[in-house]
């Protein structure tokens, strides 16, 4: 959104840009939102984020100094592009670049560009304060970290020019890793964000950071915490896709959508961290002081499109096995999902918008038992018969 101070009155005014989906004219209170730009003496330009897709927005500048105040003579407008969403899916075996951990990826050149695809170890990291190493051992197709054997962190890193993964995160892309945390190796389990992480930074754009703990995941600096089944019991597959036009990310755990809510246009989440690498970068492992575990990794995979896992379900791996009435005002729902997992029970009156989160009654809980069996009772007193639908899904 652009503007210009055409007459300053010998004192550069402070400018505020008002904007919204309706034209608020010269009444500040009728605009949806505003951005304070500061003291301006000529042309100015402001990037506005968080807008809806395929929507017309109006904007108008307001200026004030000690001599008075004024609005721009007219409001301007523009229509945003529609979101693309994530319409395609692909099994990871069909990705463009596959690293199977038979050897250190630093010694591979899958794109034949004449440069190692990943940093050889050791290398000083940029933007963090530790010396970084790629895993210490490669045996049986598994790359393993061992903090007791090296200084002190371990990761895969590609924030340097010409590396295959830096090139692969231009435009739309998908990254995937199969990893197993080593139980009990997180140095500070009460404070650290996990034992393994992914930091994905498209060139100059907000980055997405995914932290993996023994039984939970989070984004950024510990935001959006989600409980999971064990990430130490076996290899678990984590996938992150990015659509450049939307500037949105999606993240899956074992094919189940965890972050992004919806694959349709308007879905996805924004980056969880500030950009660190103008040219793009991709870090994996315990690359920061708040990630401290040891881990095994089976493969890394990169693809130059944004793709969901084949057969991925946004509702999670959960099946409703029973439904009925406990009484005239109470129904029960039985389901089978992951072991000791808390699920959301949502309801809808139109089979489209499942926006109401139900609170189980009579001492029942939405968390499954050790065998993955769940049972809740829901109160339906006062609701319209035949106009209530329920869904069980991962939060």
CATH (domain of 10): 2.60.40.10
Q: Are residues 108 and 66 in the same domain?
A: no
Domain that holds residue 224: 92-303
Q: Are residues 50 and 146 in the same domain?
A: no
Spatial separation of the C-alpha atoms in residues 45 and 58, rounded to whole Å: 15
**Nearest by Cα to 285 from 195, 176, 215, 180:** 195
As separate numbers, helices (DSSP H) first and strands (DSSP E) second, the chain gives 1, 29
Domain count of the fold of the chain: 3
User: What digits encode the pLDDT tens for the residues 355-378?
Assistant: 889 999 999 999 988 777 899 999
The answer to whether residue 85 sits within a structural domain is no
* Strand arrangement of the beta sheet that strand 330-336 belongs to: 319-327, 330-336, 373-379
Stated pTM of the model: 0.64
The answer to whether residue 253 sits within a structural domain is yes
Q: Are residues 58 and 19 in the same domain?
A: yes
Considering all CA atoms of the chain, what is the largest pairwise distance in Å, rounded to the nearest integer? 77
Assign residue 251 the CATH number of its domain.
Answer: 2.60.120.200
The answer to whether residue 311 sits within a structural domain is no
| pLDDT given for residue 316 in this prediction | 57
Angle, vertex CA 94, rays to CA 91 and CA 96, nearest 5: 130
| pLDDT given for residue 127 in this prediction | 44
- List, for the chain, all residue ranges whose pLDDT scores fall below the cut of 70: 119-133, 150-153, 159-162, 165, 311-317, 385-386
Angle, vertex CA 158, rays to CA 153 and CA 159, nearest 5: 100
Torsion sign, CA atoms 333, 338, 342, 345: negative
User: What digits encode the pLDDT tens for the residues 247-299?
Assistant: 999 999 988 889 998 888 878 999 999 888 888 888 888 888 899 989 999 99
Q: Which two tokens stand for residue 353?
A: 């918008």
Concatenate the DSSP letters of all residues of 42-64 into one string: SEEE----SPPTT-EEEEEEEEE
**Nearest by Cα to 23 from 51, 57, 70:** 57
Q: Are residues 178 and 216 in the same domain?
A: yes
**Residue 255: C-alpha distances to residues 178, 228, 259 (Å):** 12, 13, 12
The answer to whether residue 87 sits within a structural domain is no
* Strand arrangement of the beta sheet that strand 344-348 belongs to: 356-357, 344-348, 389-393
| pLDDT given for residue 16 in this prediction | 96
| pLDDT given for residue 252 in this prediction | 93
Q: Are residues 243 and 119 in the same domain?
A: yes
Spatial separation of the C-alpha atoms in residues 378 and 390, rounded to whole Å: 10
């Amino acid at each position: 959104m652009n503007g210009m101070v055409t007459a300053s009155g010998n004192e550069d005014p402070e400018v505020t840009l008002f904007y919204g989906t309706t034209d608020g004219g010269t009444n500040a209170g009728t605009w949806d939102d505003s951005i304070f730009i500061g003291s301006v003496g000529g042309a100015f330009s402001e990037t506005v984020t968080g807008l809806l897709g395929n929507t017309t927005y109006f904007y108008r500048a307001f200026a004030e100094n000690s001599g008075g105040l004024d609005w721009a003579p007219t409001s301007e407008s523009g229509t945003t592009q529609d979101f693309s969403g994530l319409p395609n899916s692909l099994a990871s075996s069909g990705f463009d670049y596959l690293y199977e951990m038979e050897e250190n990826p630093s010694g591979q050149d899958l794109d034949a560009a004449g440069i190692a695809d990943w940093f050889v170890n050791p290398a000083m990291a940029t933007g963090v304060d530790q010396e970084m190493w790629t895993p210490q051992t490669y045996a049986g197709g598994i790359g393993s970290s061992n903090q007791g054997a090296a200084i002190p962190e371990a990761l895969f890193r590609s924030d340097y020019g010409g590396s295959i993964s830096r090139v692969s995160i231009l435009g739309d892309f998908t990254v995937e890793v199969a990893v197993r945390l080593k139980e009990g190796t997180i140095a500070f389990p009460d404070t650290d964000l996990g034992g393994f992480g992914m930091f994905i930074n498209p060139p100059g754009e907000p980055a997405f950071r995914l932290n993996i703990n023994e039984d939970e995941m989070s984004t950024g600096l510990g935001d959006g915490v989600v409980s999971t089944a064990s990430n130490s019991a076996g290899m678990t597959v984590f996938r992150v896709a990015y659509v450049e036009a939307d500037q949105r990310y999606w993240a899956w755990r074992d094919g189940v959508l965890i972050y992004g809510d919806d694959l349709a246009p308007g879905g996805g989440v924004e980056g969880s961290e500030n950009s660190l690498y103008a040219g793009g970068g991709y870090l994996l492992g315990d690359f920061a002081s708040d990630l401290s575990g040891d881990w095994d990794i089976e493969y890394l995979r990169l693809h130059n499109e944004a793709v969901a896992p084949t057969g991925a379900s946004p509702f999670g791996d959960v099946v409703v096995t029973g439904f009925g009435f406990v009484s005239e005002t109470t129904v029960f729902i039985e389901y089978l999902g992951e072991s000791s997992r808390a699920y959301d029970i949502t309801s809808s009156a139109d089979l489209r918008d499942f926006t109401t989160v139900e609170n189980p009654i009579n001492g029942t809980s939405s968390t499954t038992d050790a065998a993955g069996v769940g049972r809740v009772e829901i109160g339906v007193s006062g609701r319209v018969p035949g106009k209530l639908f329920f869904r069980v899904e991962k939060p």
